[in-house]
Amino acid sequence: MSIAITTQFICFTVLSLVILIGALGVVLLESIVYSAFLLGGVFMSVAGLYLLLNASFVAAAQVLVYVGAVNVLIIFAIMLVNKKEDLKPINDIKSRRIISTTICLTLLSLLIRVDLTNVWSLSSPQNSIGEESTIRIGEHLFSDYLLPFEVASVLLLMAMIGAIVLARRDVMSKDISTGLPVDQELIEKKAEPLLTNKN
């Protein structure tokens, strides 16, 4: 990349701060809608990091798939299940928080120690193919990664059909409990939820 090193450092610092503060906001904020929009910001900043790493194609894919599809899907899910409810208090919430925070901080210190102490065998930047990476990704996808590429298409088809099957309302010809035929009107009816009021 031909950007001056100082500019790269400034961009990296800003993007990392946005990523980390945004991720903390996603996890900690009270309102789930704010979390969803912050998540979009985090995805955009990750795409910026990819641009810093000379990967314009993956950055574009990140913006298209994550911000354009996954984030919109999450916002739709929030709109569909957005119900104000008073959560039942958990009695041992404090010890749970302490234990999980300890686990996360321990894992973080372990990972950072590995990052800093390991000697990475870095290749020389002269080999860098830079902007040709899109061509190289295409060659990979249609030669040595052809089988995973085709399997990924089957996986996407399976996910699509699975999501439709899981998310649609059950349409049955007979009522399970009474055995009477069900009228198949397209009007939304108030259905009794199946598994409520257990314990």
Partner 1 sequence: MHLESIPIQAFLIVSSALFCIGIWGLLNSRNAVRVLMSIELMLNAVNINLMAFSSYVDNNLIQGQVFTIFVITVAAAEAAVGLAILLSLYRNRVTVDMESFNLLKW
Query: Which residues in the 38-97 window bind partner 1 by CB under 8 A?
Result: 39, 42-43, 46, 49-50, 52-55, 57-58, 61-62, 65-66, 69-70, 73-74, 76-78, 80-81, 83, 85, 87-88, 90, 96-97
Least Å from the CB of residue 178 to partner 1: 20
> Which one of residues 14, 20, 98, 172 is an interface residue with partner 1 (CB under 8 A)?
20
Lookup: tokens for 74: 């999450």
Exactly one of 84, 92, 94, 115 binds partner 1 (CB under 8 A); which one? 115
Indicate whether 143 belongs to the interface with partner 1 (CB under 8 A). no
Question: Is 3 or 174 the residue whose CB approaches partner 1 more closely?
Answer: 3
In sequence order, which residues have a C-beta less than 8 Å from that of residue 66 and are 6 or more positions away? 43, 46, 47
In this structure, what are the phi and psi dihedrals at residue 167, rounded to the nearest 5 degrees? -90, -15
189 binds partner 1, rule: CB under 8 A:
no
Distance of alpha carbon 178 from alpha carbon 92, whole angstroms: 43
Residue from the set 7, 14, 34, 100 that interacts with partner 1 by CB under 8 A: 100
In angstroms, the CA 23 to CA 63 distance is 17
Among 84, 92, 94, 166, binds partner 1 (CB under 8 A): 166
14 sits near partner 1 (criterion: CB under 8 A): no
Q: Nearest to residue 43, comparing CAs of 24, 17, 23, 28?
A: 23
Q: What amino acid occupies position 193? A: P
Size of the site for partner 1 (CB under 8 A): 90
Token pair 């860098």 in the structure block, residue: 128
Torsion angle, alpha carbons of 131, 135, 136, 142, to 10: 160
